[in-house]
């Protein structure tokens, strides 16, 4: 998928675990895991807002576009 999620990198930089982020943001661990592993098909603005607020980062630090084949419907 051309959109890569760099959640694990940002988490490492902040020294935070996924479960800790889950508790602070209020998103289930399962959903965060979907996001982290790149299986997510869409991200809500509210989720992005909560993540950026908690991790003190910009959306561009979390998401990255890489060249590759487009996702199949």
Which residues contribute to the site for another protein (CB under 8 A)? Answer: 27, 31-32, 34-35, 39-44, 47
Residue 70 Cβ, how far from another protein at the closest point, in Å? 16
Determine the distance from the C-alpha atom of residue 20 to the mean position of all C-alpha atoms in its chain, rounded to a whole number.
Answer: 14
Residue 1 Cβ, how far from another protein at the closest point, in Å? 11
What distance separates the 2 farthest-apart alpha carbons in the chain? 36
Residue 42 Cβ, how far from another protein at the closest point, in Å? 4
Question: ∠ CA 43-46-47 to the nearest 5 degrees?
Answer: 50
- Cβ nearer to another protein, comparing 11 with 43: 43
Distance CA 73, CA 27 (A): 26
């Amino acid at each position: 998928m051309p959109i890569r999620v760099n959640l694990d990198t940002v988490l490492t930089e902040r020294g935070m675990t996924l479960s800790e982020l889950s508790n602070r943001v209020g998103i289930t661990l399962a959903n965060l895991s979907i996001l982290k592993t790149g299986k997510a098909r869409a991200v809500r603005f509210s989720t992005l807002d909560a993540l950026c607020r908690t991790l003190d980062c910009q959306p561009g630090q979390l998401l990255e576009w890489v060249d590759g084949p487009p996702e199949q419907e």
